[in-house]
Amino acid sequence: MPKDRAPTRIQKKNRAAILEAALNVFSAHGFRGSTVDQIAAEAGLSKPNLLYYFPSKEAIHTELLSGLLETWLAPLHDLDEDGDPMEEILAYIRRKLQMSQELPRESRLFANELVQGAPRIHEALSKDLKELVDEKTVILTRWMDQGKIARVHPYHLMFSIWALTQHYADFEVQVRAILGEEDPFEGADPFVDTLYRKLLTP
Amino acid sequence: MPKDRAPTRIQKKNRAAILEAALNVFSAHGFRGSTVDQIAAEAGLSKPNLLYYFPSKEAIHTELLSGLLETWLAPLHDLDEDGDPMEEILAYIRRKLQMSQELPRESRLFANELVQGAPRIHEALSKDLKELVDEKTVILTRWMDQGKIARVHPYHLMFSIWALTQHYADFEVQVRAILGEEDPFEGADPFVDTLYRKLLTP
DNA sequence: TCTTGATTTGACCATCTGGTCAAACTCACG
DNA sequence: CGTGAGTTTGACCAGATGGTCAAATCAAGA
């Protein structure tokens, strides 16, 4: 294990390679379905060498999850109470959909964790996520009070946005099995736009 | 392994117990995250005894999946082209939501499989599911042509229904982390009802 | 160039896991 | 009862897996 000085060039490169490889493997097979050997091979390292940079398989997984949680929640952070309500919400949705398209591995990493009861990020959910959602819920509710958007249950509105947008990454196989050659996001974008416009128009 | 005569009383009981236990374990930990010992313990059997009834861990999993697929798709089968369009669709959605509530293990069993690329049911997806969806899509499109419901992309309409309803089972931890004590389905039911009414009203 | 810390690895270990097997036990039925 | 099929299990095995360690190799600054 490297000392806690400033990381060397090699440390930076290898740690990054490991996390990248782990993202591939964990998102495709889940925690228990992934092996350290697999990750090491994908990162171009030997197993002992990988374990020189991270103390354990679990440590890699934890670091991935906590490192990516911020990225994952960023779009919601950006929801601006001073912007136009409908446009702010639609922009959030569009950005979430874009993340499904561009970061499907991240989406599936979280999906794997959540489906199995989120044993490793339960705390982050009921603290960081809950806090952020509650903060934004206040804004949504105010908009509803002002008649700027239709009144709906704000939590369920949030759930629906997450469900709809992440569905395209998490259940990509199913989507592709139905759509065939058609590009999923080509149709998804106007669909969700229409859906939330109709739902939220007062 | 029992001969292929009519199953005895004990065979019926034990096979049922094994499948029930396996549903618990597989839905909570995924295929690779589950062990035969776990399933055997949950079923109240020894490992060798369990393997007397099923040839392998994989065989249990496969039987579970294929056995439950029909149940899972039943609500869509029931979509009746002769009924009232809006009410038929809303009834389908309500039934899917109810299944999320009453059969969360089944939902998570499929979710686990799908997130990881559906290695074991890929075929069923692109055959049975695709076929059923295409059949019902024809009905939806006709309703749209007749102006009975608003025109939206029928495949994406289907995805949105699956995503929204199954979200409550598959990501239950997250939903509960946000909602706290509040009953998820209490709010979900009117929310999705409103959502699809607004979306589909011409 | 030399030295020292950083990096890499082959060999190894303990444990877990899916699966086997022969022997023992139980049950239903003639 | 007795008997043969159905059922159960302790002991066991092979391979996979997470992780360790001492020794070897490498890299960069003095």
Residue percentage of chain B with pLDDT more than 90 = 94
Confirm if B19 and B68 have CB atoms less than 8 A apart.
no
Taking the CA of residue B191 and the C1' sugar atom of nucleotide D18, their distance in angstroms comes to 46
Assigned token pair, B137: 């899509």
* CA A131 – CA A138 distance, rounded (Å): 11
H-helix segments, A2-152: 9-33, 36-43, 47-53, 57-77, 85-102, 104-115, 122-124, 130-145
- How would residue A2 be classed by pLDDT, with cut points 50, 70 and 90? low
Does A75 lie in the same domain as A37? Answer: no
Amino acid A5: pLDDT = 63
Same domain as B108, residue B194:
yes
Domain count, chain A: 2
pLDDT single digits (tens) B79-108 = 999 999 999 999 999 999 999 999 999 999
Is the Cβ atom of B52 within 7 Å of strand D at any atom? yes
Q: For strand C, which nucleotides have at least one atom less than 7 Å from a protein CB? A: 5-11, 16-22, 28
Q: Is the CB of B47 under 7 A from strand D?
A: yes
Question: Taking CB atoms and an 8 Å limit, are A173 and B130 in contact across chains?
Answer: no
CA-nearest of B27, B49, B28 to B36 is: B49
- Contact partners, residue A87, CB within 8 Å, separation at least 6: none
Q: What is the pLDDT of residue B5?
A: 64
For A119, the token pair is: 């044993």
**Averaged pLDDT score across all residues of chain B:** 96
Sign of the dihedral through C-alpha A125, A96, A194, A168:
negative
In a domain, B96, yes or no: yes
Do the Cβ atoms of A31 and B33 come within 8 Å? yes
Average pLDDT score over residue span B173-200: 98
Nearest nucleotide (C1') to alpha carbon of A3 = C6
The alpha carbon of residue A164 is apart from the nearest alpha carbon of chain B, in Å, by 6
- Same-domain status, B46 and B140: no
3-state helix, strand, coil split of chain B in percent (to 5) is 80, 0, 20
Whole-angstrom Cα distance, residue B174 to residue B168? 9
Q: Is the ipTM of this complex over 0.90?
A: yes
d(CA B14, C1' C27) / Å: 16
Q: Which helix (H) or strand (E) holds B45?
A: none
From CA A86, how far away is CA B102, in angstroms rounded?
35
Q: Give the model's pLDDT for residue A10.
A: 80
Cβ contacts from A onto B, under 8 A: 165
Q: Do A30 and B33 touch (CB under 8 A)?
A: yes
Planar angle of CA B84, B166, B152, nearest 5 degrees:
45
Contact yes or no for A164 and B162 at CB 8 A: no
Q: Considering only CA atoms, which of A70, A54, A43, A63 is closest in space to residue A2?
A: A54
The model's pLDDT over A19-61, given as tens digits with 9 standing for 90+, comes to 999 999 999 999 999 999 999 999 999 999 999 999 999 999 9
Distance CA B200, CA B167 (A): 21
Q: Are B180 and B85 in contact (CB under 8 A)?
A: no
* Residue at a domain's end among A35, A55, A75: A55
CA–CA min distance A136, chain B (Å): 12
Q: In a 10 Å sphere around its CB, with 0-12 CB exposed, 13-18 middle and 19+ buried, how is residue B93 labelled? A: buried
Task: Please state, in angstroms and rounded to a whole number, the distance separating the CA atoms of residues A17 and B4.
Answer: 53
> Are A95 and A122 in a shared domain?
yes
Whether residues A128 and A44 share a domain: the answer is no
Give how far B178 is from chain A: nearest CA, Å.
Answer: 5
Q: 3-class DSSP state for residue B3? A: coil
User: Between A29, A118, A177, which is nearest B32 by CB?
Assistant: A29
- pLDDT for res A1: 53
B60 part of a folded domain: no
CATH code at position B183 = 1.10.357.10
Do B79 and B25 fall into the same domain?
Answer: no
What is the maximum span of chain A, computed from C-alpha positions, in angstroms?
61
Q: What is the DSSP letter of A57?
A: H
A79-91 average pLDDT score: 98
Q: Is residue A189 part of a domain?
A: yes
DSSP structural state of residue B116 = T
- Is there a single domain that holds both residue B115 and residue B160? yes
A60 occurs within a structural domain: no
Q: Name the minimum distance, in Å, from the CA of A82 to any CA of chain B.
A: 24
Q: How many Å from the CA of B60 to C1' of D6?
A: 21
Check if residue A37 sits with its Cβ under 7 angstroms from strand D: yes
> A37 is in which domain, residue-wise?
1-55
Output the six-digit token pair for A156: 């369920």
